[in-house]
Amino acid sequence: MGACFGYSHALGGLAGSHAEYIRVPFADHGSFPVPDGLDDDLAAVFASDAGPTGWMGADLGGVGPGDVVAVWGAGGVGQVAARASVLLGAERVIVIDRIPERLRQAREYMGVETLDYTGTDVGAELRERTGGRGPDVCIEAVGMEAHSPGPEYAYDQIKQQLRLQSDRPTALREAIYACRKGGSVFCLGVFAGVVDKFPLGAMMNKGLTFRGAQQHGQRYIPALLDRIAGGDLPTRHLATHPMTLDEGPRGYEMFKRKQDGCVRPVFQF
Ligand SMILES: NC(=O)c1ccc[n+]([C@@H]2O[C@H](COP(=O)([O-])OP(=O)(O)OC[C@H]3O[C@@H](n4cnc5c(N)ncnc54)[C@H](O)[C@@H]3O)[C@@H](O)[C@H]2O)c1
């Protein structure tokens, strides 16, 4: 794997990047000029994280013209994956989450359908919306701290607390079960270790293609900066809470608890 700031020695041993100054190794390779015409830093900053991550999910997930795409998670990553799917020609894109303001953002800014997973059987609803077939491409943008209103949430929480599994793969399981036969599942959410009840049988027997990755920034950032500048890819709305670095702990708390409509705190100097 490549290196990430603040991802321990598992990924390069680089310290975190939350500081007034940081040393950027290979800066000639890892820094990109923001194009003229993109003068809003709060929009441009998403070309560095949620942007390439979401775009990669749609691109390497194989989204193409006419596809139906389902995206689990309406955070910054999921919203960009949804918009990327639209721009790559998907016919229908459905974003799944429980947080009303995030689902509203997905509809208003990314131009996609939404589905609230609370009180809904997500698999049944996706079959209903796809003529009984299931989505062609399923993109998981939730990660190891997934929630669920069902009993599997207690099961996963207990196994995680007892260190019998490291991550809660609730949304990933749902994506594998929902995907149409021969379809593609892409895992953007970060997982650290081992998970339980991974539906290997469904994956194998339906002939699914399953992929995941840490985002390939260098591959996507220049094109994404152009798309953000050109208005194809709205990102400014994701920066719900600009603040100073001193307010970092409050920002992280709000992000973790999804308080006050927080999608992303962005630290500015
Ligand atoms: N692969 C990469 O390179 C890369 C890069 C950046 C972020 N990530 C990861 O992508 C994931 C998403 O990032 P983010 O910043 O958008 O996070 P986020 O926390 O803002 O969004 C996650 C969303 O998932 C929703 N969610 C929880 N359980 C769900 C379920 N069962 N079904 C549907 N939605 C559910 C939450 O309500 C939340 O809105 C995280 O795991 C993050 O670590 C990966």
pLDDT band at 8, cuts 50/70/90?
A: confident
Residue 96 Cβ < 6 Å to ligand 1: yes
pLDDT at 136: 98
pLDDT of residue 189: 98
For ligand 1, mutation pick of 77, 121, 155, 214 (most atoms within 8 Å of CB): 77
- In the reported structure, the alpha carbon of residue 262 is separated from the centroid of ligand 1 by a whole-number distance in angstroms of 13
If we measure between CA atoms, which residue out of 30, 85, 31, 36 comes closest to residue 226? 36
CA of residue 191 to ligand 1 center, whole Å: 11
In single-letter form, the type of residue at position 88 comes to: L
In the prediction, which pLDDT does 83 show? 98
> Rounded to the nearest 10 degrees, how much is the dihedral formed by the CA atoms of 153, 156, 161, 164?
170
pLDDT in tens, 117-161: 998 999 999 999 999 999 999 999 999 999 999 999 999 999 999
Distance CA 125, CA 132 (A): 9
* pLDDT band, very low/low/confident/very high, at 168 (cuts 50, 70, 90): very high
Residue 22 has pLDDT above 90, yes or no: no
**Residue 87 Ramachandran class (φ > 0 left, ψ -120 to 50 alpha, else beta):** alpha
How many whole angstroms from 265 Cα to the centroid of ligand 1?
Answer: 15
Q: What's the confidence (pLDDT) of residue 205?
A: 98
Quick one: pLDDT at residue 128? 97
- Ligand 1 centre distance from Cα of residue 144 (Å): 8
In the chain, where the domains are located: 9-39+216-268, 48-212
What top-level class would CATH report for the domain 48-212? alpha beta
Q: How far apart are the CA of 189 and the centre of ligand 1, in A? A: 6
Does the pLDDT of residue 13 top 90, yes or no? no
The helix/strand/coil state of 69 is strand
Strand partners, 211: 186
> What average pLDDT does the segment 228-247 reach?
97
**Does pLDDT of 260 surpass 80?**
yes
Residue among 105, 142, 176 to mutate when testing ligand 1 (max atoms within 8 A of CB): 142
Higher pLDDT, 36 or 128: 128
CA 22 to chain CA mean position, Å: 26
2: pLDDT strictly greater than 80 = no
Instruction: Kindly give the number of the ligand 1 atom that is closest to the alpha carbon of 147.
Output: 28
CB contact at 8 A, 59 and 88: yes
What's the chain's average pLDDT? 95
Q: Which of 29, 28, 18, 79 is nearest to 219 (CA)?
A: 29
